[in-house]
């Protein structure tokens, strides 16, 4: 509580954590395949703290209404994130299995002839591992891997990172090696 008797946003978030997690679980629906309700609630709390300058306490009911809106915004961002990953799933799966350092056709073909629940589950699991491996990397390595996923040339990577061609080649090789090692460690 602050000195004026008005609860601080941080305190309200702690007090209503279970409620926020429940709302995130209800509204998150399809996201629960990729993230737990607890993870969504943590993201919501961070989102709420970033929006603290737009929050004014007007009672518990008003706070819960505001929190529900924050949950909706956070879930919309996470859905957009996962949708983008699914759109680029083929490229992500190819590079996560070493395809980016070999021929572009190497690795997994996510649009292959095999279909069925187990195939889709395996692809989803590999995509989740690839995304987790990507998140572990440094910002620079993550950027490089994303550029490789977009099939950008070494010259384009050099331009994007303001590097020489030779430095971009080394950076690309190191970033891909780190990504592949991280993916391999996570998949064990």
Q: pLDDT tens digits for 29-41?
A: 877 777 777 878 8
Whose CA is closest to 71, among 39, 53, 48, 50?
48
| CA angle 90–130–109, rounded 5-degree value | 25
In the chain, what are the domains? 9-86 (no CATH), 89-186 (1.10.10)
Q: Residue 105's pLDDT is what?
A: 43
Give the pLDDT confidence score for residue 79 in this predicted structure. 81
Looking at residue 170, its pLDDT comes to 95
Residue position matching structure tokens 């629960």: 32
Neighbours of 42 (CB within 10 A): 17
Residue 87: its pLDDT value, please? 58
pTM of the model: 0.48
Q: How far apart are CA 122 and CA 137, in angstroms?
A: 23
| CA 65 and chain centroid, separation | 26
* Torsion sign over Cα 56, 58, 60, 65: negative
Mean pLDDT of the chain, nearest integer: 79
Q: Higher-confidence residue: 96 or 157? A: 157
Distance CA 123, CA 103 (A): 20
């Amino acid at each position: 509580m602050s000195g004026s008797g008005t609860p601080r946003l941080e305190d309200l978030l702690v007090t209503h954590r279970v409620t926020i997690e429940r709302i995130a679980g209800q509204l998150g629906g399809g996201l629960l395949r990729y993230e737990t309700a607890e993870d969504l609630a943590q993201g919501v709390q961070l989102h709420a703290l970033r929006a603290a300058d737009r929050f004014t306490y007007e009672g518990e009911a008003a706070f819960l209404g505001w929190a529900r809106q924050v949950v909706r915004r956070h879930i919309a961002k996470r859905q957009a994130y996962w949708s983008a990953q699914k759109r680029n799933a083929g490229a992500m799966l190819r590079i996560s299995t070493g395809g980016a350092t070999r021929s572009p056709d190497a690795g997994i073909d996510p649009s292959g002839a095999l279909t069925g629940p187990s195939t889709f589950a395996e692809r989803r699991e590999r995509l989740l591992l690839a995304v987790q491996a990507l998140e572990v990397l440094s910002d620079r390595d993550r950027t490089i891997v994303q550029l490789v996923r977009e099939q950008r040339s070494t010259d384009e990577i050099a331009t994007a990172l303001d590097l020489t061609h030779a430095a971009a080649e080394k950076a690309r090789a190191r970033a891909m090696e780190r990504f592949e090692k991280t993916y391999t460690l996570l998949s064990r």
